[in-house]
Amino acid sequence: MSRQRTRHGPFDRYGRAGRGDVVRRQELLRIRGRSVAWVPPLLLLVAILVGDWNTTGDFRMISWIVLVPGIAAALCGVWGTAVFALLSLVVYVLADGAWPHEYQAGLADFVLVAIGGTLAVLACVVRVRDEHRALHMGDVTDTIRRTVLRPLPPGWGGLDHAGVYLTADAHARVGGDFYDIQPGPHGTRVLLGDVQGKGLGAVEAAAALLGTFREAAYHEADLVTVAERLETRMLRHRRHTVALGRSDGDRFATAVLLGFPDDDAEAVDLMLFGHEAPLAVEPGGVRRLAAPPGLPLGMRELAPGRPRVRRVPVAAGETLLLVTDGVTEARDGTGAFYPLADAVARAVARDPGVAEPARLAAFVRDGTLRHCGGHLADDTTIFALHRHGGRRGASGDGRSRA
């Protein structure tokens, strides 16, 4: 996922394309920091020249030199391609003039090499421009992603945590899934959710909910009030989009809201909003936390009244595993869903260390991708966490306190 202990780094290589492809291609064309992109077209030029010299007069290879600027256009920069286009033309003239008159390829092939070199330079200009655009758009989307899904420091809010974020659209890098940890004077709160739909509308809704969560989770003493603030924000966001004339006025979000109370180190306050309950994972097994089901955020009018919260016991050694439906609804070739709880239970039975947040998030990531053959049908978030070293919540300035 994007790089940290919600560890975005090693997890981020999945579900990505675009800018990363450009960067990786450039890295492959460097050895010890020096570009070797010029080597393939130069070797091809030499091979054609040697082949032409060693073939009979009835079979001339020198016109194949038109391939050289074409290869350079795919690998080199604009100036490098221009150099190979000019070099190919010069080599063609010298090599063709070295034979007796009856063996010369002639003006037609000279024109072919000249036109080929010109087109190669133009193609390289287009390629380099598109790569620069891809790099720029990658920087923009990375900035958006860091804004919506801010990096979380290790041990933030007194929690050991690790996360994976994979987008179904490999070029998008950010979608409707969201998560955050917010420490505050009333304990640490955690939110994970999934906005209905895709595209920029889903990203906007996720950003709106996260902004409200970060403020309400810090200032509000009652977790139910935090939930009500999230519900109100979703409704306000929908009214705003309708006023703009957009068609996503019925958008909603499923979510899990957790509160780690300062007064109980072995319990968590849990609220569900149309989302699957978290799993509690420990070396001894896996269990699903029970909490009253609630409607998704933005649908409170269907069942008026305050949402309900339940305090659930969580042992010190248990890791909470929260996922979005990109995991639970991942299908294999036969259409079977990924058996998350069973797979995790078998894994921790074989190796109790899998219950640690970083390893657990990586295990679920790999299992999900294997199960669906790497073809994600929806954005996927995996978030694993437990209290850090027996710490009990967080102080009002955001620092963990014992």
Residue 180 pLDDT more than 80?
yes
Contacts of residue 211, defined as CB under 8 A and 6 or more positions apart, other chains included, come to 233
**CA-based nearest residue to 3, from 164, 160, 114:** 164
Q: Where are the alpha helices (H) located in 220-324, listed in sequence order? A: 223-243
300, 372 Cβ separation under 8 angstroms: no
**CA-based nearest residue to 376, from 330, 339, 336:** 330
Q: What is the pLDDT of residues 191-231, one digit of tens each?
A: 999 998 777 788 888 889 999 999 999 999 999 999 999 99
Q: Lowest mean pLDDT: which of 87-91, 93-97, 293-297, 343-347? A: 93-97
252, 297 Cβ separation under 8 angstroms: yes
- Dist. CA 2–CA 205, nearest whole Å: 20
At position 313, the amino acid (one-letter code) is P
202, 148 Cβ separation under 8 angstroms: no
Strand partners, 192: 179, 256
Angle at 359 (CA atoms; ends 348, 191), nearest 5 degrees: 105
Give first-to-last CA distance, the chain, whole Å: 29
Q: How far is CA 178 from CA 82, 181, 193, 366, in A?
A: 47, 11, 5, 20
What's this model's pTM, rounded to 2 decimal places? 0.69
Q: What is the pLDDT of residues 1-57, one digit of tens each?
A: 333 333 333 344 333 334 454 445 555 566 666 777 778 888 888 888 787 777 665
**CA-based nearest residue to 317, from 355, 347, 361, 261:** 355
Strand partners, 163: 383
Give CB contacts under 8 A, 24+ apart, made by 353-358.
355/281, 355/282, 355/283, 355/317, 355/318, 355/319, 356/160, 356/319, 357/160, 357/161, 357/162, 357/319, 357/384, 357/385, 357/386, 358/5, 358/7, 358/162, 358/384
**CA-based nearest residue to 238, from 226, 252, 228:** 252
DSSP 284: T
Q: What is the pLDDT of residues 304-328, one digit of tens each?
A: 778 889 999 998 889 999 999 889 8
At position 156, the amino acid (one-letter code) is W
For residue 245 the two structure tokens come to: 């004339």
Residue 112 pLDDT more than 70?
yes
How many residues does the structure list for the chain? 402
Average pLDDT over residues 188-193: 95
